[in-house]
């Protein structure tokens, strides 16, 4: 019989059997298909929009780098003025400016709306320091063009006394401060880099995760700003399934994910101090997966016969054995996209390190809106983001 099984017979049998083979329609397949199509189009939209966002960010960054800031112009003007007046007295001009800035900032901040502390705040202060003593500088004014006038008058440098009367002293009010911000708003967007270690938790287990990337904070209104960026995340998600029996191990699912996160958060700066600022932030994240590795281990119990010879008789006994079955599954990059798949909540502390440099601590919580990635994982991420913005 075995010998009769020849290649041609096998081939004919296979062909014949497969010709008549027909699967049935699986209920819900069309609905899944429609959903997949939608996800695919969303993925395309996300890729395009993230591409545009990245290009914009790079564009803005390049513009900021290539544009000389107005501050330099004002400072130069003052340098020229003082040089004409008394060249010998300004050897330590820069030091004086720095000292005066430090002395004047607290006075200026009273009543300040304090949205963005930009270098523009210091421009006006340094601009006046060169012409007037610090004590008499801030008396009364309401003209937004004061700083310019000061500069232009002093530039003429004809008569010091005449110049003193012509120069309108400055007074910083909250409104002025807004103008200061406006004057300094040549650079509205603040960029940053961050790193976030954290914990990913499922219902049954938790594991370490980390992420990092670039951010952009765009002021939208008063104390509100829009925070976006591009984050790279590496997460390990472990969840234990139900146990097959009290003696057996629980089924386990492990997922290693690498993904890009495009957050869109609204930030409210609810308290601003001299050098510190506290804020709340909330929004959504869209995720595109670069790598998805899944490993599912399930256990089943089987009876195994064990034979032994006792006194010349064969005795067969049966043992229960846990048999592990592991399935590994790797999904290729960008196969899955979760548009607005996660909610972000964070509280932040911003510490000013230098006029242009800020350090942020942001404890965060990220909650999935629905199942994430290919296998609809539900996990919560939390941790602290360390960010440097400039």
Partner 1 sequence: MAGTKLDDLDDVIRGCLRKVEKSQEMLYKKFFGYALSVAMIYTNQRNDALEVVDDSFVKVFSEIGKYNPSQPFQGWLRKIVINTSIDYFRRNQKRNLMVDAEIQHIHDHSPNAISNLTALDIIELLNHLPNDHKKVFCLYEVDGFSHEEIARQLDISESSSRVYLTRAKKQLRELFLVYFNTNHEK
Contact footprint for partner 1 (CB under 8 A): 1-2, 5-7, 10-11, 13-15, 17-18, 20-26, 29-30, 32-33, 36-37, 40, 302, 323-332, 335
Least distance to partner 1, CB of residue 11, Å = 5
Q: Which helix (H) or strand (E) holds 15?
A: helix 7-19
Least distance to partner 1, CB of residue 252, Å = 14
Least distance to partner 1, CB of residue 299, Å = 11
With respect to partner 1, which residue has the nearer C-beta, 322 or 351? Answer: 322
Least distance to partner 1, CB of residue 7, Å = 5
With respect to partner 1, which residue has the nearer C-beta, 4 or 313? Answer: 4
Q: How far apart are CA 232 and CA 258, in angstroms?
A: 7
With respect to partner 1, which residue has the nearer C-beta, 185 or 298? Answer: 298
With respect to partner 1, which residue has the nearer C-beta, 334 or 345? Answer: 334
Q: Are 358 and 349 in contact (CB under 8 A)?
A: no
With respect to partner 1, which residue has the nearer C-beta, 29 or 135? Answer: 29
Three-state secondary structure call for residue 205: coil
Residue reference for tokens 């064969």: 314
Strand partners, 215: 192, 229
Least distance to partner 1, CB of residue 68, Å = 50
Q: Are 381 and 310 in contact (CB under 8 A)?
A: no
With respect to partner 1, which residue has the nearer C-beta, 158 or 302? Answer: 302
Least distance to partner 1, CB of residue 371, Å = 17
DSSP 377: B
Q: Which helix (H) or strand (E) holds 16?
A: helix 7-19
Least distance to partner 1, CB of residue 238, Å = 18
* R_g of the chain computed on alpha carbons: 34
Q: How far apart are CA 355 and CA 187, in angstroms?
A: 13
Per-residue buried b or exposed e for 342-361, using 16+ beta carbons within 10 Å of the residue's own CB:
bebebebebeeeeeeebebe
Q: How far apart are CA 122 and CA 70, in angstroms?
A: 11
With respect to partner 1, which residue has the nearer C-beta, 3 or 135? Answer: 3
DSSP 376: T
Number of H helices, E strands in the chain: 9, 9
């Amino acid at each position: 019989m075995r010998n009769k099984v020849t290649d041609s017979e096998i081939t004919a049998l296979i062909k014949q059997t497969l010709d008549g083979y027909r699967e049935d329609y699986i209920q819900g397949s069309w609905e899944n298909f429609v959903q997949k199509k939608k996800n695919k189009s969303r993925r395309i939209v996300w890729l395009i929009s993230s591409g545009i966002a990245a290009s914009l960010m790079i564009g803005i960054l390049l513009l900021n780098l290539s544009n000389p800031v107005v501050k330099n112009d004002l400072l130069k003007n003052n340098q020229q003025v003082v040089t004409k007046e008394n060249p010998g007295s300004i050897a330590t001009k820069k030091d004086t400016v720095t000292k005066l800035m430090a002395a004047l900032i607290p006075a200026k901040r009273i009543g300040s709306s304090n949205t963005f502390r930009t270098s523009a705040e210091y421009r006006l202060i340094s601009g006046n320091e060169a012409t007037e003593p610090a004590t008499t500088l801030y008396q009364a004014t309401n003209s937004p063009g004061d700083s310019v006038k000061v500069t232009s008058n002093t530039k003429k440098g004809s008569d010091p006394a005449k110049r003193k009367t012509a120069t309108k002293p400055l007074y910083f009010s909250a409104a002025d401060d807004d103008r200061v911000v406006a004057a300094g708003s040549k650079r509205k967007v603040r960029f940053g880099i961050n790193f976030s270690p954290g914990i990913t938790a499922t219902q049954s287990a938790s594991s370490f995760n980390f992420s990092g990337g670039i951010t952009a904070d765009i002021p939208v209104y008063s104390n509100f700003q829009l925070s976006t960026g591009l984050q790279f995340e590496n997460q390990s998600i472990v969840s234990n399934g139900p146990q097959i029996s009290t003696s057996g191990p629980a089924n386990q699912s492990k997922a290693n994910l690498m993904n890009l996160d495009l957050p869109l958060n609204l930030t409210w700066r609810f308290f601003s101090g001299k050098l510190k600022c506290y804020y709340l932030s909330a929004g959504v994240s869209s995720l595109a997966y670069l790598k998805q590795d899944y490993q599912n281990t399930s256990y089943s119990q089987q009876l195994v016969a064990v034979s032994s010879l006792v006194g010349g008789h064969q005795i067969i006994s049966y043992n229960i054995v846990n048999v592990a079955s592991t399935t590994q599954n790797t999904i290729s990059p960008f196969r899955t996209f979760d548009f607005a798949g996660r909610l972000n909540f964070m509280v932040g502390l911003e510490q000013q390190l230098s006029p242009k440099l800020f350090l942020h601590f942001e404890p965060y919580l990220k909650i999935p809106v629905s199942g994430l990635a290919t296998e609809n994982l539900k996990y919560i991420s939390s941790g602290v983001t360390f960010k440097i913005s400039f």
